[in-house]
Chains A and B, each alone.
Chain A
């Protein structure tokens, strides 16, 4: 089945120790997104890739970076995790057509990050 896959599902890291979260998709979608969702809060968009073009949200901390080496994979790097970065990180994809402004997003199961 075509899907969005996130690894690992649970990640524990130490304060200040770099961590990388992974997302892959078999949908062949051209757009990939990373969201942060803290407990009992709405998901918040961190950044997205439109094909190879990186689009950062204005309020995303510099501590968060992303890489998209190919269509299928996208990584979220947290350079120096703080206690406030503990959250669920959700990856999503969509197929955006240039002549269309409306599209559906498909989400992965998320990675729960704990910072100790």
Chain B
């Protein structure tokens, strides 16, 4: 059974810091991995999708990597801003999306 874990569960950093969010999964047989952002009481916004054949994807200040063999993905956020404060969820696609419970990020001025 696929299980997805995200560490840390919560993170508080000052503005401007570079930070890394971690996602691990137990079964490497995945089609892709998606990172989402969720603001309090809101839906999910897709940030990045990494196909199983890829090793990383970049969008602006975000960079996501994927290492299928070790069952790990990281989301790197450069020069964090208060507007980045949200919960970040990773999800692996194994013909359905299996989500982690997220990392709650707070960036303070």
CA distance A45 to B91 in the complex (A): 12
**Which one of B31, B43, B45 contacts A101 once the chains associate, using CB atoms below 8 Å?**
B31
CA distance A92 to B89 in the complex (A): 15
Contact B93 A102 (CB under 8 A): yes
Secondary structure type dominating chain B contacts: strand
Known contacts A101-B31, A105-B97; A43/B44 CB under 8 A = yes
Secondary structure type dominating chain A contacts: loop
Interface assignment of A106: CB less than 8 Å from any CB of chain B: yes
Q: How many A-B residue pairs have CB under 8 A?
A: 51
In the assembled complex, the CB of B90 is this many whole angstroms from the nearest CB of chain A, namely 10
**Which one of B34, B51, B102 contacts A105 once the chains associate, using CB atoms below 8 Å?**
B34
Known contacts A42-B89, A45-B96, A101-B31; A109/B49 CB under 8 A = no
**Which one of B4, B31, B43 contacts A110 once the chains associate, using CB atoms below 8 Å?**
B43
Interface assignment of A108: CB less than 8 Å from any CB of chain B: yes
- Residues facing A in B87-109 (CB within 8 A) are 89, 93, 95-97, 99-102
Contact B101 A41 (CB under 8 A): yes
Residues of A within 8 A of B (CB): 6, 40-45, 48, 57, 88, 90, 92, 101-110, 112
